[in-house]
Amino acid sequence: MPVLVLILIFSAMFAMWWYWWRPLPRAPATYPGALPIIGHIVEGIKYRNDIWGYMERIADYLITDECVQLRMGPHIIYVVSDPDEVDIIANTCLKKSFFYKFLIDVLGNGLLISDVPTWKIHRKLLNPAFNLHVLNTFLNVMNVEARNLVSRLKPIAGQGPVNIKEFLIKYILRSVCRTSLGLEAKDQDMIDKEYAQAIDEIITMAVKRGLNVALHPSFIYNRTAMRKREQEIVTSIKNVLNSIIQKRKSDIKSSSSVYSRNGKFKPILDLLLHLSDEQYVLSDDEIKTHLNTFVAASYDTTSSILQIVLLVIGSYPDVQEQVYKEIIEVFGDNEELTKYDLPKLVYLEAVIKEVLRLYSIVPWISREIDTDMVFPKYTLRAGSTCVLVLYNLHRHPSWGPDAKQFKPERWLNPATLPTNPNVYAPFGIGKRNCIGKQYAMMTLKTSVAHIIRNFQLSADISDFNWKYKVILKPAKPILVTFTLRS
């Protein structure tokens, strides 16, 4: 009897190996460190507290081999870094990978993780809310909020290094509330620090679940304390969004809002409500889903990028001086930047682009391979997951021998930039790129211009490091010293 049991166990293990681990024709090389059947799960556990460190190792390995495969139990994960292949995959395979499903309860079927048919319809409906003409109407509010940020920073000027995270999160949340949600100044704190903390906590849970294969099945995860806490947070977030939606509906109905009266400023929430009330194409749940995606993505990404931009500018005095001179020239005696001023901030834009290239907070994106992808050196099989390494694109040899150096001047001469557009993708790549990239750039340019106009920054980027929380975030507080300019 024991012999029969052993034979059955061995047969089952062999069947599993044959099904999951059988050699596939033209398969990419397997990344070193895989164990039979379980693959790289042990490495995943080993690096669970340093996910970014592990992915950096894989990215460095890809310098000599442009595609490898990881094995996580039954999951085959291809990791690709060739610019042209990344572009083809991103535009052919539009379905997000199973990793994103761990955020489904909080972000729902929004643009970030929605199924492909829904994404195609909703992206087309929402594109008008992010065109440049509409975004230019936000500029007055952006100027007001940037000046308010400067006012909050003045009391800490001259007091030595300061952790800037909380200042910037509050600033970005207020800006989003005023522009995207149409809230007036007295209501702009309806989404506050507690909302930001809730989003942070739920994203941390998603990362932990993603790293623990045992929690991938819903029937197991739904019985955990983590799932119970996740549901509490989701309920809290939905209650906040419900209040905002009802308030905005009331403001529009009573025409008490300045945004409704002047007819020039159309917040994104107004477009969503119009699509719901007039065209009957969005449900209340879908409106909440899109709002949550916009607010969470805007605050989380933009505040993180802004921290890095200020850290970099404070670490390079020569760069800061050149940025300051340009800002003074463009501002003149005016208090605000206009839509005609922003394009004139050429060097500042170069600095921001170089920060986005070298310190991109989105190091990779992942897709589900829904059809066999045949490339010259290998074939990626349908049903697998593919990670597209944007981090490597930004360090591709076509950037030159100084690809790993911070050199904003490279953006001032288009003739010296890489000819392949796929090697720069800070807002994603392909059709499912970030819908809010112009909004983010406008926010960054406006806020940095106001800050550098008023303060001289001092910082040290030499010991900067990342941690992974769906996007990359500073591993420790970013400290910046502010000195008021005369």
What's the CA gap between 444 and 459, in Å, rounded?
18
**Full-prediction pTM beyond 0.75?**
yes
What are the residues whose beta carbons fall under 8 Å from the beta carbon of 162, sequence distance 6 or more? 156, 479, 480, 481, 482
Q: pLDDT exceeding 90 applies to what percent of the chain?
A: 50
Question: Of residues 308 and 11, which shows the higher confidence score?
Answer: 308
For the chain, the average pLDDT equals 87
Range in 43-52, 143-152, 171-180, 230-239 with the lowest mean pLDDT = 43-52
378 Ramachandran zone, left/alpha/beta (phi>0; psi -120 to 50) = beta
In a 13 Å sphere around the CA of 46, the CA atoms on its Cβ side amount to 9
Residue 41: pLDDT band (50, 70, 90) is confident
Phi, psi of 454 (to 5 degrees): -100, -25
What's the CA gap between 438 and 128, in Å, rounded?
12
248 in Cβ contact with 182 (< 8 Å)? yes
**pLDDT, tens only, 305-330:** 999 999 999 999 999 999 999 999 99
What's the CA gap between 113 and 428, in Å, rounded?
13
What's the CA gap between 201 and 373, in Å, rounded?
37
Annotated binding-site residue numbers for heme: 434
CA angle 92–73–42, rounded 5-degree value: 120
**How many residues are given for the chain?**
486
Q: Assess whether pLDDT exceeds 90 at residue 298.
A: no
Residue 261: pLDDT band (50, 70, 90) is very low
Residue 10: pLDDT band (50, 70, 90) is low
Give the pLDDT mean for 251-277. 68
Q: Assess whether pLDDT exceeds 50 at residue 262.
A: no
Give the pLDDT mean for 402-411. 96
Annotated binding-site residue numbers: 434
What's the CA gap between 423 and 409, in Å, rounded?
17
Residue 9: pLDDT band (50, 70, 90) is low
The DSSP annotation for 404-429 comes to TS--GGGGG-GGGS-S-GGG--BTBS
pLDDT at 259: 43
Residue 6: pLDDT band (50, 70, 90) is low
The winner for highest mean pLDDT among 49-58, 183-192, 476-485 is 476-485
What's the CA gap between 53 and 71, in Å, rounded?
18
Domains and their CATH numbers in the chain: 25-101+113-477 (1.10.630.10)
Tokens encoding 309 = 């931009």
Q: Assess whether pLDDT exceeds 70 at residue 260.
A: no
pLDDT at 1: 60
pLDDT at 427: 94
Tokens encoding 233 = 């947070």
Phi, psi of 5 (to 5 degrees): -60, -45
Q: Assess whether pLDDT exceeds 80 at residue 346.
A: yes
Q: Assess whether pLDDT exceeds 80 at residue 188.
A: no
SS3 67: strand
Range in 81-90, 250-259, 369-378 with the lowest mean pLDDT = 250-259
Q: Which residues of 270-303 are buried (b: 16+ CB within 10 A; e: fewer)?
A: bbbbebbeeeeebeeebbbbbbbbbbbbbbbbbb
